[in-house]
Amino acid sequence: MRHYVGGGFDASGVPFPLVDPVTGRTVGEVPAASRELVDRAVGAAREALRGPWAGWSPAERSRALHRIADGIEGRFEEFVAAECADTGKPRALAATVDIPRAVANFRAYADLLAGRSERSWHTGTPDGRGALNYTVRKPLGVVAVVSPWNLPLLLLTWKVAPALAMGNTVVAKPSELTPSTACLLAEVIAGAELPADVFQLVHGQGADAAGQWLTEHPGVDAVAFTGESRTGSAIMRAAADRLAPVSFELGGKNAGLVFADADLERAVEGTLRSAFTHSGQVCLCTERVYVERPVFEEFAGALAAGAKDLAGYGPMISAAHRDKVLGHLDRAAADGEVLAGGGVPSFGDARDGGFWVEPTVLTGLPEDHPAVREEIFGPVVHLAPFDTEEEALALANAGPYGLAATVWTGDVSRAHRVAPALDVGIAWVNTWNLRDLRTPFGGVKASGIGREGGDHSLDFFSEPMNVCVKL
């Protein structure tokens, strides 16, 4: 594990342990960046803005992004192995979602950039000769990218790709729990024929460490962050002192609505995916499901049976996170009903030292219960009945978060009526996590600021400038 600063790899810094969440064993060490190394990374990135990178055309940057995508594809199995080792997620998930999506992130922004145009206007003037107004997009400058542990490469590249596409330089800090694929990405970028110092990578913790030093740095012009809402608030306060723009994708307590006219088999299958993919450690996962009363018992029984039969799920990312999830389950078991799971699985092998929690289905808790209102970020879903469409919307829209929601119904009119009425950034109807990378992605309320995806990301990572030429 190494930093990538000033065009070279650097292993300096006090090491901290890298732990395998599957077994709980320490499997390596990661160097923590010093404040001086963070300063050097930001300084190198700022210097690169004035170098050859400034003269690269959009077409050249587009080709560079494709070279990075080629590099990831060329080392596909290394990336899959590293992602699985850090997160404990099943290989099938990393190989079909995380690594392919990282490749797609670079290709999508490369293609968008190559086909992008800006508007121009011919403006009338008193002398009749007119003027030409057109827009020029300029990079923001040095962008700090701070990415989380649940989808390490996917969410890192989701920001790095558009930032580079628009001519910025990047200093990235991955989660201290999942640094491996970021190191591999640095190696790929180092070999992708970009100008020196366009990309920097530093490792370390968040508070009073590399994360805080980077996001507070006066040489950083913008911050793109995915993570929990409290950390986003702290970064926003730091960025406010220098009026730096921020893009945040934060927490969620996502709701699912199941109406009696839905295809219940499809709704159960979809909810098993939306609740338990990566053991619930995805910001888009469903943690509370409201089911129309006539089908509540049938749905609850089928979902609980499905949860008990789930195989191939992974552990929590850390002992601390496992204990947080289990604390929620202990309180929920005392106050409500556990339909499935609720404890720690036993394997009879090395996995018993890891950070595992059973897929859990709860019911019977009041809406103000912590397990219903607070983001758990684990394999836990709570079920509750509703009687009317209005009640369903009120329940789904309650609470501080507003990232995503699912609607399961066979009534197309209801689908178009209910989905836009949800206070979220994205609503899926009769599906979950079906993404088009050109569409806006982000949340409302405590779930984030701004939108990522397609032109929305390219617009964030650039500053529009108007040029007016008198004719």
Catalytic residues: 249, 283
Q: Amino acid identity of 285?
A: C
Strands across the sheet with 222-226, in order?
Answer: 8-10, 3-5, 199-201, 169-173, 142-146, 222-226, 246-249, 448-449
Token pair, residue 52, equals 């050859």
Nearest to 45 by CA among 131, 159, 167: 167
Q: Is the dihedral of CA 231, 232, 234, 235 positive or negative?
A: positive
Q: Amino acid identity of 250?
A: L
Q: What Å distances lie between residue 321 and 261, 271, 273, 318, CA to CA?
A: 38, 23, 21, 5
